Amino acid sequence: MEALLIESLNAYIRYHDLPGDEPALVFIHGLGSASSSWFPRILRYSCIATRRAVLVDLLGFGFSDRPSGFGYEVEEHADTVTRVLEHLCLEDCIVIGHSMGGAIVINLASRYPDLVANLIVAEANLDPGPGIVSGPTCAQSEEEYVKSGYTEFIRILASKGWADYAGTVQASDPIAMYRSAASLIRERKPTFREQLLSLRTPRTFIFGRRTLPSPDVAALSAEGINVRIVEDSGHDMMSDNPDGFAEAIAGAIS
């Protein structure tokens, strides 16, 4: 694992940079997850195994630092990922974001188009409003969530047998969880959907089969966005069916 110092925050953002062919694959995780945990399992599949892969743990999550002076806005997360790519002298990357990570990479591609040659988003948040995790999180005040809601959420995950996600949430900073969730679901102009539709780079949106039906399958396809479906999976498709998720990425690249 490597680390880049964000000097303005006196904080390190950490990432894996795995060698291979370029353009590089850049992976950004969702709320409470970590790229270092969720994405390595798909990189062994032959359809993408030869690619250089950069797996970034966002500030406040995974192995990265938890700076108190960071706002944890989606746009700020996009800026720090940009710092990593610029540090690695990478351009024209194949950028993959899951859930909240999808919103982050949409914003990154919108503001830093030279860094993204191909955008792949997996069940990204496109519109304002609460999601499965962000909704219950932001139904509390930040103080309430940090004091008890965060611990209760981990307890619920463990009780349901979701030990992998419970582990990455446990490795996350509760303030980072709350503020990232609040940023993700708030009203903004343009919305993430509007940002995605305005892009001219190749775009793919991936669904897990168990998430469907969704009106976005037809709506996004009508806007020229490549839609792919991972069978035998729900929202956490890289865990439910890593082979299928890797194949969806390979299909999006080709």
Residue 248 falls within a domain, yes or no? Answer: yes
User: What are the pLDDT digits (tens) for 62-98?
Assistant: 999 999 899 999 999 999 999 999 999 999 999 999 9
- The arrangement of strands across the sheet holding 11-18 comes to 2-6, 11-18, 51-57, 21-28, 93-98, 116-122, 203-208, 226-230
What does the block give as tokens for 11?
A: 């904080």
Q: Are 82 and 76 in contact (CB under 8 A)?
A: no
Amino acid sitting at position 204: T
Q: What is the pLDDT of residue 97?
A: 98
Residue 71 is part of which domain span? Answer: 2-129+187-253
Confidence of residue 254 (pLDDT cuts 50, 70, 90): confident
Residue 149 falls within a domain, yes or no? Answer: no
Residue 45 falls within a domain, yes or no? Answer: yes
Residue 46 falls within a domain, yes or no? Answer: yes
Structural domain count, the chain: 1
User: What are the pLDDT digits (tens) for 88-143?
Assistant: 999 999 999 999 999 999 999 999 999 999 999 999 999 999 988 999 999 999 99
